[in-house]
């Protein structure tokens, strides 16, 4: 697989073309950002940890019937993915209240949400990822009604699979964000699943083990990601 030109540099990952027009290389960098790119840092091993973490989760999801863009690991910081046309919305499911829902709705952190909530946000840092609904997505033609339904169904299916996976490893999946795209017209899960894009709490102590450690200056950010990986049985190179 030949690595071609840099196509896109995001806040934490870079995407490269390959000699196959249907496949891209995703490079996980150590760059870390929060608050729509306002707070940034370099965290040693973050690219490696998130790349391996994502590969494990994507394989787990695929084994449980969720189609994803992930093809295979290429190196400690690179993965081969299918070239998708991304849908510019973020799908967020919450099992417990935390983060923006606490600020927006004035509810306490840590409430059990039963049933879990589902929210769409527009992927746009300059606008601070505003919350949108199905009507915006259809009217502005970001996705069709059928694609919206598929994104909701797949996001909740991911919840069933991952809530259970993390519970068995002693953790609560508080919330997470997914992004979808189209591969030859079929809706598939894209982007990444790592502690950068979800909230994970220790089930007993409710200690935060995710990117809130970076957002809230709690320290031991990547050390906590590595604890999560270890509990899941993900083998990370030294």
Residues binding ligand UDP (CB under 6 A):
90, 92, 99-101, 129, 175-177, 197-199, 211
Pick the closer one to ligand UDP by CB: 12 or 74: 12
Phi, psi of 2 (to 5 degrees): -90, 125
Report the nearest approach of ligand UDP to the CB of residue 168 (Å). Answer: 20
Q: Residue 204 corresponds to which tokens in the numbers above? A: 């007993």
Report the nearest approach of ligand UDP to the CB of residue 180 (Å). Answer: 14
d(CA 188, CA 55): 15
**Which among 156, 151, 166, 168 is positioned nearest to 199, based on CA atoms?**
166
Report the nearest approach of ligand UDP to the CB of residue 177 (Å). Answer: 3
Pick the closer one to ligand UDP by CB: 75 or 216: 216
Report the nearest approach of ligand UDP to the CB of residue 221 (Å). Answer: 13
Q: Which residue is nearest to ligand UDP (CB)?
A: 99
Q: Are strands 23-28 and 31-34 parallel, antiparallel or unpaired?
A: unpaired
Pick the closer one to ligand UDP by CB: 30 or 100: 100
Pick the closer one to ligand UDP by CB: 56 or 193: 193
């Amino acid at each position: 697989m030949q690595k071609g030109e840099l196509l896109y540099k995001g806040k934490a990952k870079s995407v490269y073309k390959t000699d196959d027009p249907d496949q891209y290389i995703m490079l996980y960098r150590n760059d870390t950002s929060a608050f729509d790119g306002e707070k940034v840092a370099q965290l040693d091993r973050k690219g490696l940890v998130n790349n391996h973490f994502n590969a494990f989760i994507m394989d787990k999801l695929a084994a449980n019937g969720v189609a994803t863009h992930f093809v295979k690991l290429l190196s400690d910081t690179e993965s081969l993915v299918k070239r998708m046309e991304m849908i510019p919305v973020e799908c967020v499911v919450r099992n417990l209240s935390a983060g923006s829902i606490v600020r927006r709705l004035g509810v306490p952190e840590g409430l059990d949400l039963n049933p879990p909530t589902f929210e769409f946000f527009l992927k746009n840092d300059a606008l601070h990822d505003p919350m949108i609904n199905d009507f915006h997505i259809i009217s502005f033609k970001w996705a069709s009604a059928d694609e919206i339904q598929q994104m909701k169904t797949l996001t909740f299916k991911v919840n069933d699979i991952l809530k259970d996976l993390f519970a068995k490893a002693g953790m609560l999946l508080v919330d997470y964000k997914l992004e979808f795209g189209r591969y030859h017209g079929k809706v598939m899960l894209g982007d990444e699943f790592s502690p950068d894009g979800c909230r994970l709490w220790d089930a007993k102590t409710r200690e935060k083990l995710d990117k809130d450690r970076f957002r809230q200056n709690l320290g031991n950010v990547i050390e906590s990601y590595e604890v999560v990986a270890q509990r899941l049985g993900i083998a990370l190179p030294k």
